[in-house]
Amino acid sequence: MDAVFARNPQLVDEMAQLLHARAFAAGRLALPLPEPPEFFLVAHTGLTDAGWVSQYPPGQTVLLALGLWLHAEWLVNPLLGGVSVALVFLFGRGLYDSRTAVAAAFLYAASAWALFMSATYMNHVGATAYALAAWALVWAGPHPGRWRLLLAGFFLAACAATRPLDAIAAAFPLGVWLVGARRLPAAGWMALGTLPIAVSWGYVNAQLYGSPFTLGYIALYGPEHGLGFHVDPWGLPFTPLTALSNMVAAVRRLHIYAYEWPIPALLPLALWAAIGRPRMRGDLALGVGLLAIPCLYFFYWHSGFYPGPRLYFLAAPLIAVGTARAWWWAWDGARGASPRLVRWDVAVIVASALVLLWGWIGLLPKRWDVYREGLRSLKYHPERELKAAGVGEALVIVPESWGSRTIVRLWGLGVPPGLVERAFRRLDTCDLYRFTLAAEAGPWDGNAAAARLEAALAAHTEPPPRLTTWPDPSVRLRLGSTPPAECQIELQRDLAGFTLFGYLAWRNPLALDSGIVFARDLYERNSRLFARYPGWEIWRYAPPEGDPNGRPVLTRVGPGLATAP
């Protein structure tokens, strides 16, 4: 994590969960409301009656909070990744035998996908560890007793409270065991084991979002965030054709990113699935579990990638076990074949070694470099630089792109995040910015601003083109139009350079009232922010003047109510 990602979150999902984990680590369910909100809010978070919250279920957030409490949040997922290797062994031994389990554990430990994902803060790692614990408790032994069944239910519920759809997929291998072992009454014990997590999760949902059955995704982005074919939260149609395209892209990425092999990662598993014999009950559990994941996510509108087809990460341990089964099947078949001109058992060993070594020596280092060098602006630590300079208390303003500044100002007005996102993706950015100025001058409350924004969206059917060559390629402007002066100012600010704020937001103190406080630079609106921090040192973290693409640097603006550039 340190060598590749510099212990920093790289994706908004990680940033939001780390931010919410700050509250959990302090013994709170939500962060205090930030004031003024537009200077501090980040994507996938929102304001409710309980306070400032993220959209994510609490399963991973609790683990990150424990890491924060121990000052080792960056170790949470690496440790979960290591535990998962042991759980893959136990699960593989229960499905098959010890030799398959050893090979599966080796393959999972050698998986580039598992390695890089375990170096992030993503909740896929926690959900997969929870699911593996449930599988291992049930499958690692012929006759699991009540306590093991209770714990299996507990960990399955923990998976649900981390990634709900993953938990549904994880339940399928358990269902195969219940039916195949004729232990249907054991389902009652597993159901009983889910209760502590289910009750706790329901309580958290009720406190944060108003109902035990309301997920943060729905609370912040509306029912469009749910499963099925509909208009998604960004205002785009999600159709069966889109779903099929997402699935094909995910499987193609699995072939590449699972192991970084010179052959498709699923090729050994596919060959065994097609022609391998004999069949066992473990094969059925493995196959059902593997198929459940793409089938369920077929109905989910989003197609996530980082650092691999992340929505399918629960498949990683199943692929490892299945690939181990395929290698041993090939080995057993090769040993029984007549040597003639080739020792087939030796050929299998040599081919396997070549694939592994080629991947680890020839391909994995290149992927390592891509991740290490990519998103460089997210790898820096201005908080360390300030502490090294002896600065113990300061306000640091961070400029972002025009699009980001417009979005957060609408959030600050109380416009729902889902509506803001749809508007940003469909309206001319200058029109949306001028709408924001009018709403702030109005002043309109959140409901009034939302109603007028809905009307503006209804009046525009075709979105203007994006400026793909602009520093912020999400900006949209009508062809042939000349933006008015207020928009020209914002465009010039983009050309002067900007960086990202979200990856720094989670490092802020809980109450935003001491130490190093990072805030978004909103230029002429900064006086509202500075009024909260009278007498504080004010720094700006931005690309150097004249070098908009350069590494961001810290520049002291001044004390008190100084005006930022």
Instruction: Measure the CA–CA gap between 60 and 82, rounded to whole angstroms.
Output: 16
Residues 78/1, Cβ–Cβ less than 8 Å: yes
pLDDT at position 143: 82
Window from 20-24, 58-62, 303-307, 506-510 with minimum mean pLDDT: 303-307
Q: Write down the pLDDT at residue 340.
A: 66
Longest distance between any two alpha carbons in the chain, whole Å: 87
The average pLDDT across 465-479 equals: 93
Report whether pLDDT(295) > 80.
Answer: yes
User: Residue range 518-539: average pLDDT?
Assistant: 95
237: number of Cβ within 10 Å = 11
For helices 12-25 and 58-69, what crossing angle results, to 10°?
60
pLDDT at residue 564 is higher than 80: no
Residue reference for tokens 């699991």? 144
Does residue 359 contact residue 260 with C-beta atoms inside 8 Å?
Answer: yes
Predicted pLDDT of residue 279: 85
Q: Whole-prediction pTM value?
A: 0.94
Helix axes 146-160, 164-180, angle to 10 degrees: 150
pLDDT reported for residue 332: 86
With 90 as the cut, is the pLDDT of residue 304 above it?
no
pLDDT band at 560 (very low <50, low <70, confident <90, very high): low
The model's pLDDT over 482-518, given as tens digits with 9 standing for 90+, comes to: 999 999 999 999 999 999 999 999 999 999 999 999 9
What average pLDDT does this structure show over 223-246? 93
Check pLDDT > 60 for residue 35: yes
**Burial tier of 349 (Cβ tally within 10 Å: 0-12, 13-18, 19+):** middle
- What is the mean predicted confidence (pLDDT) over 165-190? 91
The residues, ordered by sequence, that sit 6+ positions from 187 with a Cβ below 8 Å of its Cβ are 178
- The percent of residues above 90 in pLDDT, for the chain, comes to 85
pLDDT tens digit sequence for 54-113: 999 999 999 999 999 999 999 999 999 999 999 999 999 999 999 999 999 999 999 999
Contacts of 168 (CB under 8 A, 6+ apart): 160, 292, 296
Of 345 and 502, more confident: 502
- Percent of the chain at pLDDT > 70 equals 98
Residue 264 has pLDDT above 80, yes or no: yes
Q: From residue 362, how far is each of 113, 194, 262, 307, 366 by CA, in Å? A: 16, 45, 9, 19, 8
In which region does residue 120 sit, left (phi positive, over 0), alpha (psi from -120 to 50) or beta (all else)? beta
The reported pLDDT for the residue numbered 335 is 81
* Whether the Cβ atoms of residue 8 and residue 378 lie closer than 8 Å to each other: yes
How far apart (Å, rounded) are the C-alpha atoms in residues 412 and 37?
A: 5
Judge whether residue 563 has pLDDT over 50.
no
pLDDT at 345: 78
